Structure formats: C-alpha cells, structure tokens
Structure 1
Amino acid sequence: MADGSSFSFDTRGLVTSVSGAKGSRLDEAVGQPALDVLGLLLAASGKGGSPVLQLDAWRDGEDTVVAAVGSAASPGTARAESAYMSSAFDKSVAGIELYDADLRLLRSNRAARAVRGARAEDLTDRSAADLDAGLRLSPLLAEAMEPARACGDCPVVERDVSKGRRTYSVLALPLREGRAVIGAAAIVHDVTENVRAREERQLLAAVHARVGTTLGIMRTAQELASALTEDFADAVTVDVVEAVFHGEEGARPPVSSRAPLRRAAFSAAADFTSLYDVGEPSRFLFPTPYTQALSDLRPRLLDPHGSPADWHMHDSARADVLRRSGVHSMILAPVVQQGRVLGLVCLYRGRRDPTPFDRRDLALAEQVTARAAVHMDNARRYTRELTTAATLQRRLLPHHIPQLPALRTAYFWKPGGRTTHWFDVIALSGARVGLAMGQIPQHGLQASVDMGRFRTAFATLARMDLPPDELLAHLDDITHEMQQEDEAADGRPQPEGESTRCLYAIYDTITGQCAVACADWPAPLVTTPDGDTRPLDLPVGPPLGQTSGYERTCTTLAPRALLTLYSASMLRPAHGDDSFALLRRAAGTAAGDAQAACDNIVYALMDDHARGHGGGAVLTAVVRRLPEGDHVSWTAPRDEAAVARCRARARRQLAQWGLDDHVFATEVVISELVTNVLRHAGGEPHVRMIRNDRLTVEVSDESSTAPHLRHARAQDESGRGLLIAAALADRWGTRYGDRGKTVWVEQDLTAPDDA
C-alpha cells in the first residue's frame, strides 16, 4: 500500500472500499476482514527489520477510514519522526499555518499567532481572505494550489509582505495526499532586520558611488539630495554656508541665525514645496530645531506636529510648507568637517512613505552626512585653490593693454578647468606692437607659477625686438628647461597630450606688415573692413619644449582690418555645432570694432557650458596705419658733414610737428647715433623719426655689431655718445633686421621734457 492509500471497513470489521492502491493485492481486499488487510500492509511495507506502518484513522459515517501516511524502518524511527513533526510545528521560530482545500485556517503555531497578534481561537477556521488585513497571504496560497504548480516538484512561491516597519518573507506550498492537493501551508519568517540592514548598505553604497563625482559644491549637494530621495526620504534640502561656496572654511559653532546660507540642492520624490529655490539665500529663524542643530551640531529626529508649538510660531512660513506637504517626520543633520559647519541637510517624509523616521534612521542620516561632508570639504578646498590660482593668474595678466594710436584692442579671458591661458600686448620700438597668446598645460597654483615664469620670459624676449620665429625658438629652449625642472621635482614625465603652446604676431603700424609665427596654435582670423573673415595662411609649428624650429609668415593688413587671436578651447564642439563657423560669423559681424567683435565671439561660443568650463582667451585688434605726416625718414651720406645736416633736418621736422621743446634732446641723440655709425659701423646711416604717443628716433646701419653702453673715464675724449643718448631718452634699444641693425631712442610726449 503506497503512501496516500486508504481503505474503509464497517461495524462488522469487513473492508467496504479501497482507494489509491490500484495495481496491488489490496484491489481484492473488499469483503475481507480489516485485520487481514493490516497484515498485508505491514508485509508490503517491510524491507528488513521490523516493519512499521504509520496510519491515520477517522470516522466517515458508519464506516472507519484508515489511510497510510508513511512507513518507517523501526518503531523508534517512527516515534522520533512523530515527535519531530509535533515539535517543529509548535516550537519553530518561523510562523507556520495550515489551510484546507478551501483555504480555511486549520492550525497555526505560536510564532504565526505572534505575527498576526491574535489568539488561536480567533484565527482557526477563518478563511485566508478574512485574515489578509493583518498579513496578506490569500493570493499567495491560491497561487501555490493551482494544478499547474501543484503537480510540479516542490512548488514554492516567495513574496515580501510589509506591515508597517516589519517585513516578512513568506513561503507558500501545497499539501498533497497522493496526487491530490488537499490544502496549503504558509511558512512566515520575520526578515525586518535583514531587509533594513540591506537597505542601509545599499544607501551607503549609493552615496559612496554617486556623491562626490565632481569637485563642485552645488553638484555634490545635489548628488547627495538625489541619492537620499530614492528610497529613504520623500524630500531633501541641502543648505550650505555662503563662505564655503567661495572656498573659505566653514563657520565655527554656534552658527548665528544671521549667518548667510544658500540653498545648494533640493530633491523630492513626491509632491513637496520648497521654501527657497536652489541658488537662493536661505534663512533659518531662531529659535527653531534648525538653528539648534546648527548650534550644537547634534542631528535631530522630529515630528513636526508633535514638536513644541513655539517654533512653529517663530517660523510660520516653513511650518506652513511642512503642513501643506503632509510631512509627518523629519531629520535635521548638520554637515560638519573638522569641527566647522559646512551646511545643513534636512530630510522629510510625507505622503509617499507613511512610516516615520526612527532612531536607526537618524544614525544612518548622520553617517551619510559625515561622508558627504568629506566630499563637500574637498570641493571647498578645490574651489579655494581655483580661486587663488585664478586671482594670481589675473594679476599676472597685463593690467593695462596699451592703446596705441594706430591700434585698438579688446580681450576676454576665463580660467579653465584643465589648462591655463594667457595673452599679452607689448608696445615695441618703431611704432610696432606685439600680440601674443598661449597656454600652460595644467591649472591650479603650479600653473600660475609656470605662467608667471613663462610670461616673464616672453616679455623679456619680446622687448629685445626679436622677430616671431626667433622668439618662439628661444621660448622652446626655455620651455624644455622648465619641463626638465618639473620632471626632476615631481619625479614623473609630462603626460602625453599636454603641451605648452603659443602664438606671436608683430604688427608694424607704418608699413601695415604683420609677421606671425605659432607653436601648435590656431591660425588667427583676419576680417577685412567689408566683413570677409578668413584664417591667416600660417605654417603651424610643433608645441614648445621639443627643441624644434619655427617659421614666420608675413602679410600686409589693410587699414581697419580686424585681427582675432583665440585659444583652441574656443573651438571645442558642443551639441554638434560648428564652433569655427560660429567664430567666423561672430568676428565678421563686427568689422572695425575690436570690443564688439570680442563680445560677439564670447556670446556666440562661451554661453555653452562645455566650452565655458574649459575656459579660454580671445584677443581682438583693429589695425590702422600711422598717418604719413607722423613719420619721416632719410639716408645720410658717409661724411662728417652729414651729422650737421641730420640735426638741421630733425630740427625742421620737430618745428612742423610743434615739438620745439624736444629739439635739444633730439639733436643730441641724432648727433651721437649718426656719429657712431660713421665711426663704428658700415654703410650709410638711415634716420627715421616717428611721432605717435612717443617721439622715436631710429638710426640704422648695415653692421650687426651690437652697440656697447660704457662709462667713459674723465680723461677719455670719446665713448660717451650712447650714454648721453640713453640719459636723454625714456627708453632705448637695438633691434636686428635682415640687413644690419637699428638703434632706437624714445622720448615720452605725454610728460614735459626736463632735458
């Protein structure tokens, strides 16, 4: 007789029916004594040792029904199994409930009754649907009893059922008698602590992965608010002390209610009204739990309706917002790093999550804000370094761009996130001007130091009147030495792709000629007076520091042409646009106006965040020609009488210009410089006088020998010429050309001549 087989016998003890034993000898047992049938059952179940058959018996009308529920190897085994079944049901820490085929509760153990909070007599014989109010199991039990599931092996269905802050894991399985399903069982485990621990780990992991991805204070605050509103809070606000946004240290507690804070982030997963918009100043009135948390730095767990009513009176606007948003629980957690207050995080629960915060949530919020405080302080330190570096870089840039009569310039400069840009405008001798732009391949304080070193070297070389290609060659050597010094100091080579770049152009306001050379820099744009804008055809040399040579291009610019220098960061594509086309169009719409062209370029390109974050520089210059009446030149013969004739011609020219006060100094300078050419150089002396904001006297010859400024002794009869010329001038120097050199002397026309 197999498990689940049964037979019935009447009051005479004779078998009346048999079920579940098809194909066995019991099929012929009807009419036989029940005692003989029991013998057959014992014989069929025995496989060695003393056969033990486990039976259930019950009355069914006038008959008695006997059903085989199993067999055991020995009587001891049968007793142990029976005792185990009884003990496992009654003493199990898991709740166990048994249901019949109609899903009416037959029996439940102590743990199950504790879960439902009811007595046995209140539960027994009630349907699973009636009991769903306490623990919703009826859909689960019905699913487990479906025939398609019941005929499979171990059909088990798992579900999580929440009741307040308690979470249960339920196993529902069918009860079979043979192949027939006669009921269902539910095994209930309280997994609340496991679930909460897992949720806490998930929240901490989310904060670790998603907060602090950048070094921006606003971004860090918003990342924190977004992470907390996914599964923990309905709404989160983050307010930061105003000084922290500027890189300064946080406030020392207690924080005054008048201390300025600003709303840095807001996130809500439900309908919630924020009292302040992100970016606006936020204010917490005293005395309220908000100001108390900022004073003693202790996080607070509050029921806004159960708190003392006086703080609602002091901050009625905030209390009204909480009431309209349905907030029933809130946590106020100060953001503190090294004893200084960076801000305040406020967490609210309302209609989305009816479960109030508890002390465990308070401890979790404190742990989260402690992690966020580290990221926020890192962002603050980064902001302070950037601010310091940007301030230093601004101080290193030219404070006053020289506005020459024949040149009008405008510029834009913004510090970048990865590179440091610089530019310069230098007034050169001979009514010429130098325009330069470059970049250092890093940012921060070290880049500011390198920028100062590099720009000083550039200005020194530029004032030596070197042509653009030669100047870049010298800068190449200097950059190579700086790189070697940095590698020796840091112990690591410069990363690939990070290079020092530069462009240098010299414009001659007399001839209109512009000479340009570049080291891996975009070619400048030239805009004609009619608005046609094209890049200058320029050979692009390698970045500086690679011991390379450079070539220069010379072109003649038309009067009122616009020359635009720009950094490569301005051409960074954004949203698929053609940045170079935008640049050309912006420059072409403001021909003849340097400031308008610069503004147009900035508005067209730097409004995009991707380009704006990278920083950049723009330098625009509208060129003009020096009027013909403001310069004069001549070549003198090689004889001693030429000195007197040069003085006389200079005197007449100064009279025409109305510069009679400068006659004496100019005559002395011309006499000495022409005499030096006749005595110490070759070729005929060539004299040029230029009047703009300065009076310049130039004397050129065909010799490349540099003049030497020396102090003659008292008994010497010569050697004082250049010294006298330098004493009468504001500035003097020597520049070299393709043939020979030029000695120039400048006198300032904006101040009275004291010579």
Structure 2
Amino acid sequence: MRGRILEQLPVMVAYFGRDQRLAMANTASASVAGRSEAAMLGLRPGEAEPGKILQGGEGLAEAIERVLRTGQGEPYETHLVMEDREHIWQAALSPVRDAAGEVQGVSVVTLDTTEQFWARKRLAVLNKASRRIGSTLDVGRTAEELAELAIEDFADFVAVDLLSEVLTGDEVRSVLHRETISFHRVAQSSVLEGCPEAAVRLGGTHAYDRKSAVGRALVLGEPARFDVDEETLSRWATVDPARTRSMREYKIHSALVVPLRARGITLGIALFCRHRTPGRFGAADLQLAAELVSRAAVCVDNARRYTRERATALALQRSLLPRRAARQQAVEVTARYLPNTTGAGIGGDWFDVIPLSGARVALVVGDVVGHGLHASATMGRLRTAVRTLADVDLAPEELLTQLDDLVLTLDREQPAESSEGGQVAGATCLYAVYDPATGRCTMARAGHPEPMLTCPDGTVRQLSLPSGPPLGIGGLTFEGAEFELPEGSRLALYTDGLIETEDRDVDSALDELRELLGRPTLSLEESCDTVMDALVPERPIDDVALLLARTKRLDADHYASWDLPADPAVVSNARKRAAAQLDAWGLDDAVFTTELVVSELVTNAIRYGGDPIRLRLIRDTALICEVFDGSSTAPHLRRARIFDEGGRGLLLVASLTERWGTRYSSTGKTIWAEQPLPDAEEPDLF
C-alpha cells in the first residue's frame, strides 16, 4: 500500500543513497524527466542523463552532500531549464535514517512553483510600475520609465514608439484613417549594453504597414503575442527587413506587441522581446504587458495634455510680451524671459518698454500671482492697462494707484480659485520713467524687488524705493522716488524668480547679482546672458524676467529750448527760432508745419496759461514740439462752428501732426505734438 501511495502521489519524490546516486524515483518524477524510472537510476543530482547536468541544477549535489554530512534537512530552490523553458522548483531535502539512526540517504520532495513564481514577479512588476511610471509630466521620460522597468524582470529588449502628435502635444488622429502608420522612437532599453538589438535608433522615424502583424495590432487596438520562428521571420522579412535581420542576429524567439491606448485613442506601440530569457511569453505575460502599457499610456496622455496646455500658455505668454523694442532713443535695452519648468504652469511675469512724450521712456516689470493660462491672461490685461495709463502721462505712483484699482476689479470678477488650482489675486509691479533731457528717473514699486543701478565706473547699488504694497491689496498708497542717472548707467529690473531659488537665499543671490552686473566691459546682451546663466537653475521653479537698460542723454544737437515772455508779440519770434533750428538740423521739409504748431501752442499758452512759458524742440525718433506754461488748466479739442472766432488751434495741431497730448507736473502743464521722422529699424528685445 505504501508503494502504491508513493507511485500515485502527484508530487515528485526521489531518493539518493550515500553514494549520491539516484536509488528511487516515483512516477511523477519520471514523467517530468521524460524517462522511465529504470533509465534514471544511478544518475547524480542535477543530471538529465549521465554526465549532463541540467542548466540550473549545479547546486543540488552540494545541498544533498550537506544533508548527508550534517543530518539536517534544508529547503532548496532551483531554476531548471528543460526543453527551452525555465522551471522553478521548490524542494525539501530530508535525511533518511536506519534503525540505528544513521543517515543512509536523502529524500527529495519537489514542487513545481513556476506559475506561482511568475505570478509573484508580475505582481512585483505592477507594484513597481505604480511607483515608477509617470513620475514626471514629460512624454519621453514616461516612455523611458516603461522600457527601463520592463527589462528588469520581464523582457530582454523593449522599444516604445509614439505618434509624432503625442510628442508635440497635439490632438491625436485615429490610426484607422491612416494607410501607413508612422512612429517616432522615443525609448528603448535592453539587457545588453547599448541596445544592439534596436533596428531603429532613438529619435528615428519609421512606419508600419496596416497589413503587417504590428499594423493589425494597432488597427485592432489589441495586444498580440508572437513566437518568432524561421517561418515567421521569413514572412516579416518582406515588410521590415532591418528589424527581421536584428531579430535573427540576436536570436529573439518571442515578442509581444502592445498598443499604447488611452481614452480610446492609440498613442503609440510598445514592443517586448526575449532572447536571453529562455521561456517564451505566455498568456499571463501578455496580460501583464497590457496592464503595464495601459498604465504608461494614461501617463503619456497626461503628459501630452500637459505639453499642449503648457505650449498654449507659453504661446499666449510670449505673444503678450514685446518682441521688438519700441522706437525710442532714451535708453538701450535688452531683455530675457524664461518660463518655469515645473508642473505649476506658466506664470504671469512681464516686462515692457513704453515710449512717452518728450523723448522719455517708461520701463516696466511685473509679476502676476499664480500660474497657468489665467495668470498669463491677467498679465496681458495688466500690461495693456499699464500702456493705456502711461499714454496719459501719469506719474509712477499715480499709475500704480490706478492699476491697483484695476486688479481689485479683476479679482472680484474671478472665482477664488483658478482652474489650475492656484490662488489668483494680486500682482507686483515696478514702474520707472526716465527723461534723457535731464537724466532724471522717477520710480515707484508695488511689492516688487528693488532695481539695481550700475554706474559707468562699475559700482553697483540697489536703489532704495519706498515699499509699496502688492497690487490688489487696496486702501494703501504708493510713493515715488527720483534719481539722477549718469549717462551710460545701467538699470536692471527683474522679477523675484531671478533671486529666489531653492539652492540659495535671497541675500546671497542679490550679492551675486551685484557682482555680475559690475562688469561694465560686457555688452548688454553679454551681461544679460551672464546673469541668467549664473543665477537661474537648469529647471527654474518660477518664471524669470530680466530687463537691462543703458541710459542716454540728449545733447545740444538733439534739442533746443527757449524761455518766452507772456507777450503776443513774441509768437513771430518763436516761429523764427524754431525755423532756424530745423534748418540747422536739416529738416527743411518740416519747417512750415512746425511754424504753424509753434504759433498755435505758444499763442494758447500766452492767452490761457501763465508764466513761465517755455518752448522746446526735440529731434528724437520723431520731431517733438513742446510748450510749457504755469497753468494746470486742461486744453480741449473741439469742432469750431462756421462763425466761431476761436477753437480751431488744437484741431489744426491734431490735423498736422501724428499725435499730440498734455502732461502735467507740480508746477504746470506741457502741451506737445509729434511729427514723424524717417523710420528706423526696431531691434529685437530677446
């Protein structure tokens, strides 16, 4: 009865004597070995036949020898390759004693745990996948994570190909409507160094025919498994000879083709191959590969959508920033803008250079709180508002007050949370006005970092401005400050992204910024690049805007000024002086119009204004005529009726000139008018 139980036991049982040769094996053992018990007797541990040790069975003899020597049983696990398939065996080695207690041999009871082993491995792979795939919002890196993970415990070679639209973030067109399906190789990984099996190199583009095995898998949207034999290779050779040669050379014997599909759309394809691993891919492997690729596909699609949204926000941001410097000669400018590279989205940093009346120029740098499309759109609205307010020649502190009211209005119109999940309320801004005739620069700031001034001798100092609150707080006032800037000075305006980084504190960054700006031999372009390279990390966490401006001064060849008495008789003399100055400048064609403008503006100043009266001509990017008087009464343009004796002066000025306007000061007002001069090329800002 004991013998029958042993023979019918489905578990493999073998017995090795003291000579370490097989003395007994039950029917289950013989069946697995594919030989009769009689043919197996006398074999040594791990032998399939005399003198031939099975791959993976080398350590069994040592384990049996230890049990014979110590008399202590022990577990044993081995990976055996039989008929080109890997088996995992769990064995219990136990000493067999005689009546006297002496060890006479070793019994080996073995269980085939191959399926359980691979099931555990698959679960481990899926567990790793949940942690490692999709760690970034980068399409290429997500594909690399899939390939790197798969070769650790699953495949010997992995390639991931994506449609070109996925890389650019565009909407993906269905593969059903394509005769030829073109892909871009974005990731590949191998157990062999250098991925020598790859028929297509990284970055290369290749196509699959709809009728090929891979093409059918793509069209159907279902994973497929292939046992690669010579017949299969011969059939594939006509469609893809390069890949077929590679598979032959590296003896690839099994392959899986799994489409990357997310939200019903095919994004690409993953190819898994085995050549060193002896076991072919099975149904369970296909299911695992499909699960891995499914997780990766969702991450790739998320990254694609992020790429598209980021590209949209960046395009909006850049479209709202000035691409060319406005025509002006007060300062030489250059600028840099760098968006952040984190998942927070594009921010609302901006800068601007705005020509003002009287050859003056306004320099602006600002930063909207929050990130994403909403921040970019808000930035555009604020930049437009600044330009509009600058056009009416408001003082810097008055302009920030008006801008503060606008931000409060915009904030009330928006929900508390933006769609990107970041709080959108408020902004910071620095507004500076430079006058090249006097060299004076008036500034005011709203919660923004103070600017840096580099003097011609290379000394650098941070200009101390009254600390105004950020825009959108409301109820608080702003205060301006005035500085005299030597000709050739450099003014640096920037956003907080330049000095607030993870690896240094603000004070250290400001000290380094001073040192970098204190190099007067560098051009503005070189200085800009030097500052950005030194202070901005490879992956900035916030947007960075930097604006550098070198000041200029108007010399005697570009402007002339005359103080006039409040006497109507002086009008003709003012016309003559203006005509003589234009003749000296070689602007004879503008004499007639300028005489009319001077006559009207000086007459109005004498009739409706007050002392002192001053006439000034400026030859800048335009010919500017200015008349200052001590009155703050605002002139108005009106249509004179047929029998009206007055009211046509400003209408005549507006008709003859390109633009005109009024600006006010603490001591009076200035009425100005501009006539165009020949166009000059506008330089790029960045």
TM-score (norm 1): 0.77
Residue 523 of structure 2 is aligned with which of 587, 593, 596? 593
What does residue range 304-703 of structure 1 map to in structure 2 within 5 Å? 304-306=228-230, 307-312=232-237, 315-351=240-276, 353-417=277-341, 418=345, 419-488=347-416, 490=418, 495=423, 500-529=427-456, 531-539=458-466, 541-547=468-474, 548-571=476-499, 587=517, 591=521, 593-602=523-532, 609-611=538-540, 614-703=542-631
Match of residue 194 from structure 1? 116
My pick for the range that moved more, 583-592 or 645-654, is 583-592
Q: Give runs of aligned pairs for residues 170-319 of structure 1, distance below 5 A.
A: 170-175=91-96, 181=103, 183-254=105-176, 260-271=182-193, 272-273=195-196, 274-282=198-206, 289-306=213-230, 307-312=232-237, 315-319=240-244
Q: How far 1:546 moved relative to its partner?
A: 2.5
- Does the CA contact (< 8 Å) of 1:528 and 1:591 recur in 2? no
Check whether the contact 1:487–1:494 (CA below 8 A) recurs between aligned residues: no
RMSD (Å), alpha carbons: 3.7
1:159 has 2:87 as partner: no
* Structure showing greater relative contact order (alpha-carbon pairs closer than 8 Å, 6 or more residues apart): 2
Structure 2 counterpart SS, 1:355: coil
Aligned mates of 1:521, 1:596 — CA distance in 2: 25
Aligned equivalents of 1:586, 1:319: Cα separation in 2: 58
Single out whichever of 256-265 and 206-215 deviates more from structure 2: 256-265
Unaligned runs of 5+ in 1: 1-82
Deviation of the 1:411 alpha carbon? 2.7
Q: Secondary structure at the match of 2:539?
A: helix
Tell me, yes or no, if the aligned pair for 2:340 and 2:539 is still in contact at 8 Å: no
CA contact (8 A) 1:257 1:291 kept: no
Paired letter, 2:126: L
Once residues 100 and 668 of structure 2 are traced to their aligned partners in structure 1, the CA distance between those partners, rounded to angstroms, is 117
Supply the distance in 2 between the matched residues of 1:449 and 1:743 (Cα, whole angstroms): 35
CA–CA separation in structure 1 for the residues paired with 2:614 and 2:522: 35
Matched residue type, 1:167? I
Q: Is the CA contact 1:529–1:591 (under 8 Å) kept in the aligned structure 2?
A: no
Q: Which amino acid aligns with 1:172?
A: L
**One-letter identity of the residue aligned with 1:223:** E
Return 377-386 or 514-523, whichever deviates more.
Answer: 514-523
- Cα distance between partner residues in 2 of 1:89 and 1:324: 48
SS of match in other structure, 2:378: helix
The alignment partner of 1:230 has SS state of helix
Q: How big is each residue's C-alpha offset from its partner over 1:571-623, in whole Å with a ceiling of 9 and x where there is no partner?
A: 465888986677556655574733343344455566x5323x75533333332
Q: Is the 8 A contact 2:327 2:621 kept in 1?
A: no
- 97-106 or 382-391: bigger deviation: 97-106
Q: Is the 8 A contact 1:499 1:544 kept in 2?
A: yes
Secondary structure of the 2:280 match is coil
- Highest Rg: 1 or 2? 1
Other structure's SS at 1:309 match: helix
Relative distance call for 1:502 and 1:181 in structure 2 (3 A) is: farther
Alpha-carbon spacing, 1:303–1:448, altered in 2? closer, same or farther (3 Å): same
Name the CA distance, whole Å, in 1 between partners of 2:252 and 2:421.
Answer: 57
Output the CA distance in 2 between the equivalents of 1:238 and 1:350.
18
Contact between 2:180 and 2:210, CA under 8 Å: does it hold in 1? no
Paired residue secondary structure (2:203): coil
CA distance in 2, matches of 1:135, 1:648: 110
Retained in 1: the 8 A contact 2:348–2:371? yes
**Residue deviations 1:231-277, cap 9 Å, x none?**
11112121222222211223432586866532211222224313444
SS at match of 1:278: coil
Counterpart secondary structure, 1:214: coil
CA distance in 2 between counterparts of 1:740 and 1:265 reads: 70
Deviates further, 704-713 or 557-566 = 704-713
Superposition pairs of residues 28-107 of structure 1, within 5 angstroms: 89=6, 92-99=9-16, 105=22, 107=24
Q: Which amino acid aligns with 1:543?
A: P
**What corresponds to 2:676 in structure 1?**
748
Superposition deviation, residue 143 in structure 1: 4.3
Identity of aligned residues (%): 36
- Gap change, CA 1:532 and 1:277, over 3 Å in 2: farther
SS of 2:286's partner is helix
TM-superposed deviation, 1:428: 0.5
Q: 1:525 touches 1:534 (CA, 8 Å); kept in 2? A: yes
Match of 1:48 in 2: none
1:105-184, aligned counterparts within 5 Å? 105=22, 107-123=24-40, 127-128=44-45, 130=47, 133=54, 136=57, 137-144=60-67, 147=70, 150=72, 156-157=74-75, 159=77, 161-163=79-81, 164-175=85-96, 181=103, 183-184=105-106
Deviation at 1:433, TM superposition (A): 0.9
CA distance in 1, matches of 2:654, 2:581: 22
Secondary structure of the residue that 1:518 maps to in structure 2?
strand
Shift in CA distance, 210/466, structure 1 to aligned 2, threshold 3 Å: same
- The residue type paired with residue 539 of structure 2 is A
Deviations 1:624-680 (A, max 9, x none): 212223212233333444444434433333333333443444344344444444454
- Do the aligned partners of residues 173 and 737 (structure 1) sit closer, same or farther apart at CA in structure 2, a change above 3 Å counting? farther
Unaligned 5+ segments in structure 2 are 680-686
Q: Provide the C-alpha distance between the structure 2 equivalents of 1:459 and 1:160, rounded to a whole number of angstroms.
A: 78
User: CA separation in 1, counterparts of 2:266 and 2:664?
Assistant: 63
Q: In 2 relative to 1, CA 111–705 (structure 1 residues): closer, same or farther, beyond 3 Å? A: farther
Whole-angstrom CA distance in 2 between matches of 1:590 and 1:245: 43
Q: CA deviation at 1:430?
A: 1.0
